[in-house]
Structure 1
Amino acid sequence: MGNVGLLYVGAVLFINGLMLIGVIPGKSAAILNFFVGGMQVVFPTIILIQADNDPGIILGAAGLYLFGFTYLYVGILQLTGLSGEGLGWFSLFVSVCAVVIGFIQLTLDDPVFAVIWWIWAVLWFLFFLLLGLNMDSLTLTTGWFTILISHLTGTIPAFVLLLGRYESNTTLALTLAALGVLALAIAVTIGRRSSAAAESEASTTAPIAT
């Protein structure tokens, strides 16, 4: 179940990234957030019922709830028009949890998913800065980073897991980490260039005082 959920994490992150850069309206993106958020709450509940107190299974289910509540929160905000500060501070909580879960993955000899969790920690920290601290200048940076890592940390690993070909070693983890850093660098560059272009356009179209 977790592997299927991961596949749709890639999908909803991609849609939310497109929403942040202005390609998809918020109310349109809200629908998929409700679908995936609901799934990410129902699935871990079923997993917990069947876990038989297995700590590893319970840990995995707890991580799914972090995503499920985020997407349901996003969907509600987009439909109601409420401010996003609450989601922003919840995103800080998710970011800290993701860092911890990443280290736990290392103790479980799974460095690839440790890196995936740390990339998610960076993304949710950007959500915190954008929504919790109202740093609107990071909107495009956050949107592009969301798009770039959606398939890197969601869709592709999910398909590999579903095909039964998942491997985890230091080389793959370092490669994934490098791709994550590259994605962040690209997102920051696009965000800064877009902001600079907007400021330049605003200055050239501003009325001349008389």
Structure 2
Amino acid sequence: MAYVGLLYVGAVLFLNGVMLLGKADPKAIAVFNIFVGALQVITPTVLIVANLSDPTTLLSASGIYLFGFTYLYVGIGLLGDLDSSGVGWFSLFVAIMAIGYSFANFRLLGDSPFGVIWLYWSFLWLLFFLLLGLKMERLTRYTGWVAAIEGWVTGAIPSFLILTGYWQNPDSITLGLVIFGVVVFVALWLITTGVWSVRGFRWGFRAMPTPR
């Protein structure tokens, strides 16, 4: 059940990224945030009630609430034209807790791919904190791309592979996620900040002064 919800986490991250890139109306995206937020609150509640004696399930399900409350907060805030600082500071809380869940997946659950995925989410929620909480608007484009990409890499694709039985070779998946994250997000930073121009593959450094 949790992996079905993960599929729609991917969808809402992708849509929120598209919204931050200015390609979709915020209020239209808000409705989907509320749909998925409600799903991500109901799902862990059902899992917890049905598995009160299973600490592993309780641990895994508890992290889902972080997403559910985030999306409900975002959706209601967009519909009500509320200031985003509350979502931003809650995102800092989520970013910190995501590091804990990453550790839990590595050391307690033996799930290294999701250990890395939780680090992806920690990074994204840190960007939400900087953008929405501290109002660092220059990060809007970068955060939009990171959110849209993570929607596929951490949500839709893993969920589909797990549900179809193709989520295998965890060591290879872990290594692939690490390499992909470092390469893509560093390259995105260089592109969105203007350091590197994709057109012509030119580095956008300022010309060095001629020595005299």
TM-score (norm 2): 0.88
Residue 172 of structure 1: aligned partner: 173
Residue 193 of structure 1: aligned partner: 194
* Cα contact 2:10–2:155 (8 A) shared by 1: yes
User: What's the secondary structure of 2:194's corresponding residue?
Assistant: helix
- What code does the residue aligned with 2:12 have? V
1:139 positional shift: 0.5
* Cα contact 2:8–2:36 (8 A) shared by 1: yes
Q: Deviations over 1:32-73 (max 9, x none)?
A: 101100000011111111013211111111111000000001
1:186 positional shift: 3.3
Residue 203 of structure 2: aligned partner: none
Give the distance between the partners of 1:174 and 1:167, measured in 2 at CA: 13
For the pair 1:37 / 2:46, whether they are aligned, the reply is no
- Structure 1 unaligned blocks of 5 or more: 197-210
- What code does the residue aligned with 1:68 have? G
Give the distance between the partners of 1:187 and 1:127, measured in 2 at CA: 16
* Cα contact 1:112–1:172 (8 A) shared by 2: yes
- What code does the residue aligned with 1:10 have? G
User: How many residue pairs are counted as aligned between the two chains?
Assistant: 195
Q: Deviations over 1:113-137 (max 9, x none)?
A: 1000000000000000001111011
- What code does the residue aligned with 1:152 have? V
TM-score (norm 1): 0.89
Range 73-82 or range 168-177, more displaced = 168-177
Give the distance between the partners of 2:177 and 2:50, measured in 1 at CA: 32
Residue 61 of structure 2: aligned partner: 61
- What code does the residue aligned with 1:129 have? L
Give the distance between the partners of 2:26 and 2:166, measured in 1 at CA: 36
* Cα contact 1:47–1:61 (8 A) shared by 2: yes
For the pair 1:26 / 2:26, whether they are aligned, the reply is yes
* Cα contact 1:130–1:136 (8 A) shared by 2: yes
* Cα contact 1:142–1:187 (8 A) shared by 2: no
CA 1:124–1:168 in structure 2 vs 1: closer, same or farther (change >3 Å)? farther
Give the distance between the partners of 1:16 and 1:183, measured in 2 at CA: 19
Give the distance between the partners of 1:138 and 1:8, measured in 2 at CA: 25
Q: Deviations over 1:133-190 (max 9, x none)?
A: 1101100010011111210000010011111232353332121011112231233133
Please identify which structure carries the higher helix content: 1
* Cα contact 1:149–1:183 (8 A) shared by 2: no
1:192 positional shift: 1.1
Range 166-175 or range 16-25, more displaced = 166-175
- Structure 2 unaligned blocks of 5 or more: 198-212
Residue 130 of structure 2: aligned partner: 129
Residue 90 of structure 2: aligned partner: 90
Give the distance between the partners of 2:136 and 2:169, measured in 1 at CA: 36
For the pair 1:140 / 2:144, whether they are aligned, the reply is no
Residue 200 of structure 1: aligned partner: none
Using the aligned pairs only, state the percent identity: 47
- What code does the residue aligned with 1:32 have? F
What is the CA RMSD across the aligned residues, in angstroms? 1.5
* Cα contact 1:9–1:36 (8 A) shared by 2: yes
